[in-house]
Structure formats: C-alpha cells, structure tokens
C-alpha cells in the first residue's frame, strides 16, 4: 500500500499526483500534508451529547490541520467527493448516511440503543461508545472478589447476549441471573424478584430498562435491597450506581481523532469493531460506604482494566 492510497485519494489520481506529493512532502510539514485531507462528520441535530463530541473532534482536527465538514441530520449533506472519510455519530446520522449509499470509507460511532438498525451498523466498521461486556465482568471482579451472582435485566429475550454474558461471567467465576423485563409487572417487580438472589446488578445500556422514567425507582429499589449497581455512565454513578467504566466526550473525541489520523496515514481505520480505549472507572464512594463495601480506588481500577486490555 503506497502513500497515496493511505491518504484515501482516488486511485486514478494517485499515479499523476504521486511525484508531486513526494516533492511536497520534502518541502512542507506533515501538518500541511494533512491540510489537504478532508473528513465529513455527521451527527444528530438534537443530541447535546453528540454536539459536544463533534465540537471536541473538530477542535482536535483543527489542531492537526485536518479539515472537516460538519453536518447535522437536518442539513443537506454533500458526499459527492467519494474519497472523503465519513464519520457518522449516532443512530440517526448513520441511518441517514446509509440511505445515501455512499461509496466513501466510513466509521460509525454509536451506542447501539436502536435494535432495528444496529445490526446494519454492526456490519460496517464501527466504534462503540460503551465497553464490551467482558470488561464489565472484569470490573465486577475487581470491585469485590466475594460477589458471585450478577443480575442483568433485559427488555426482551436475547440468546446471543445471554450466551456472551454467560461465557464472560464463567471466565470470571460469576453467575448471571438474567431477568426479562417483559415477564414482570414492572421494573420494580423485576428487581424485587431478582435482587434477593444477587450480589450485584449489572446495568446494560438498554434504554427500555434504564431511562429517565425508571432510573429513580431502580436505584432506590436496589439500594433498599442493599445491592450495588454497576452503571454505564458517569451520570449513573453520580445518581447512585456504585461504579461504571466511563469515557468522557474528550476521550471519545481523542479516539475518533486518532482513527481519522490513522486513516490518513495508512488508509485504515483499524479493527472493524472497536471499543473505547480511553476510559476511566468512576465510583461512588458514598454509596460504597453506606453499603459497607470497601472498593479499590478508581485509579487502580482503571489502570488494572487498561493493563488487562494490553495483556
């Protein structure tokens, strides 16, 4: 793979432009090389989270002199230049881009809350906004080696997820009690049934279960049962979950920027399926103290998880 390919230029232009670019590389800095690169970033029009993420990516790219066309889903998106890398952030933007059937290289950044369309996203190179499930079990094991039974509440049956969970749990000597929300009167009923048999509740990012309407009753009910919750966001932990592996928008932006950089360096965005590599473990020490749980400090938890990733 030569340099022209690595920066994503169309093949027909590669040969005549090659010598010129070689000369240019001799006389100008790498940043000036990137100045010729171009990325399209599309996000949802009404998501503050995505807006914040895009702003940070844009800031990073600007520092690298990589130009980017920033669109939201309500704007007319020009993808006529097929060599441009398209980053679609979130479900809505990804669907929008899918519908345009572009031939451009793509990266989908999403949190997989939409069951209808996520399989489509999964078939393309993507970066998940959340951690793989095995990582969550690792965290549980690091938080307390005495915990054995993990409750997981799902909005509906999911054999693939159940298999994956059981496999990861077994690896960490944990047992998963899988609760299907549909089998119960409501989320409280599900919790009251499952928690007496559990040491910890692992909250999966399933917004049918964990949403603004339910979150109070979930945290209050788990606390009443004195069962800690492993959440999936910093806000969840602040609200009352015991811990979560969390990537800030800065960290996600950093990873996306590096993927873009890599693309313009070696014409590859890396693995098809990526997870956040920059993250922190956030903990709620007040909740831990109240539940009488002694947990390691967040830095050592984070370092341990990161070092395990590198092993």
Nearer to another protein, 26 or 143 (CB): 143
Q: By CB under 8 A, tell whether 257 contacts another protein.
A: no
Cβ 41 to another protein shortest distance, Å: 15
303: left (phi over 0), alpha (psi -120 to 50) or beta: alpha
Applying CB under 8 A, which part among 18-26, 55-63, 148-156, 296-304 lies near another protein?
148-156
d(CA 129, CA 268): 20
Q: By CB under 8 A, tell whether 228 contacts another protein.
A: no
In the window 54-93, what residues touch another protein (CB under 8 A)?
Answer: 89-92
Task: Determine the size of the site formed for another protein (CB under 8 A).
Answer: 102
d(CA 14, CA 5): 7
Nearer to another protein, 32 or 217 (CB): 217
> What is the DSSP track for 149-201?
EEEEEESS--HHHHHHHHHHHHHTT-EEEEEEGGGSSSHHHHHHHHGGG-SEE
Spatial CA neighbour of 58 closest among 44, 69, 47: 69
d(CA 77, CA 41): 10
Cβ 210 to another protein shortest distance, Å: 8
Enumerate residues 6+ apart whose C-beta is below 8 A from 259: 107, 127, 269, 270, 274
Nearer to another protein, 62 or 271 (CB): 271
In the window 277-306, what residues touch another protein (CB under 8 A)?
Answer: 284, 286-287, 289-292, 294
Q: Give me the 169-208 binding string for another protein, x by CB under 8 A, dash otherwise.
A: --------------xxxx-xx------xxx-----xxxxx
d(CA 69, CA 224): 50
Spatial CA neighbour of 211 closest among 192, 197, 184, 232: 232
86 and 102 Cβ atoms separated by less than 8 Å = yes
Q: Which of 5, 29, 32, 303 binds another protein (CB under 8 A)?
A: 5
Cβ 236 to another protein shortest distance, Å: 6
Enumerate residues 6+ apart whose C-beta is below 8 A from 128: 110, 111, 112, 273, 274, 275, 276
In the window 19-58, what residues touch another protein (CB under 8 A)?
Answer: 44, 46-50
φ, ψ dihedrals at 64, nearest 5°? -95, 0
Nearer to another protein, 26 or 74 (CB): 74
d(CA 295, CA 290): 12
**Helical ranges in 195-297 per DSSP H:** 215-224, 234-239, 249-266, 285-291
In the window 87-146, what residues touch another protein (CB under 8 A)?
Answer: 89-92, 103, 105-106, 110-119, 121-126, 128-134, 136, 146
Q: By CB under 8 A, tell whether 151 contacts another protein.
A: no
Cβ 48 to another protein shortest distance, Å: 6
Applying CB under 8 A, which part among 17-25, 33-41, 224-232, 254-262 lies near another protein?
224-232
Nearer to another protein, 26 or 116 (CB): 116
Applying CB under 8 A, which part among 17-25, 60-68, 231-239, 303-311 lies near another protein?
231-239
Nearer to another protein, 27 or 294 (CB): 294
């Amino acid at each position: 793979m030569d340099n022209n390919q690595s920066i994503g230029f169309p093949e027909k232009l590669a040969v005549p432009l090659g010598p010129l670019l070689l000369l240019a590389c001799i006389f100008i800095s790498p940043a000036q090389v990137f100045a010729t690169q171009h990325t399209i970033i599309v996000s949802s029009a009404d998501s503050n989270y995505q807006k914040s993420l895009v702003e940070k990516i844009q800031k990073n790219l600007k520092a690298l002199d990589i130009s980017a066309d920033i669109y939201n889903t309500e704007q007319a998106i020009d993808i006529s230049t097929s060599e441009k890398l398209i980053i679609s952030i979130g479900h809505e933007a990804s669907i929008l881009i899918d519908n345009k059937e572009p031939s451009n290289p793509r990266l989908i950044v999403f949190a997989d809350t939409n069951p209808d369309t996520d399989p489509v996203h999964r078939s393309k190179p993507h970066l998940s906004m959340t951690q793989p499930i095995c990582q969550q079990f690792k965290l549980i094991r690091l938080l307390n080696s005495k915990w054995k039974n993990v409750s997981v509440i799902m909005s509906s049956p999911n054999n693939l997820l159940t298999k994956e969970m059981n496999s990861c749990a077994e690896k960490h000597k944990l047992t998963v009690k899988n609760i299907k929300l549909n089998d119960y009167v409501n989320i409280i009923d599900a919790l009251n049934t499952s928690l007496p048999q559990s040491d910890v509740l692992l909250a999966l990012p399933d917004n049918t279960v964990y949403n603004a309407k339910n979150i109070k009753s979930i945290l209050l009910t788990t606390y009443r049962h004195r069962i800690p919750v492993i959440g999936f966001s910093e806000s969840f932990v602040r609200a009352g979950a015991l811990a979560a592996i969390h990537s800030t928008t800065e960290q996600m932006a950093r990873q996306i920027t590096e993927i873009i950089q890599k693309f313009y360096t070696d014409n590859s965005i890396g693995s098809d399926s990526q997870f956040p590599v920059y993250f922190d473990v956030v903990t709620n020490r007040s909740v831990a103290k109240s539940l009488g749980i002694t947990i390691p400090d967040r830095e050592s938890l984070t370092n341990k998880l990161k070092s395990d990733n590198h092993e």
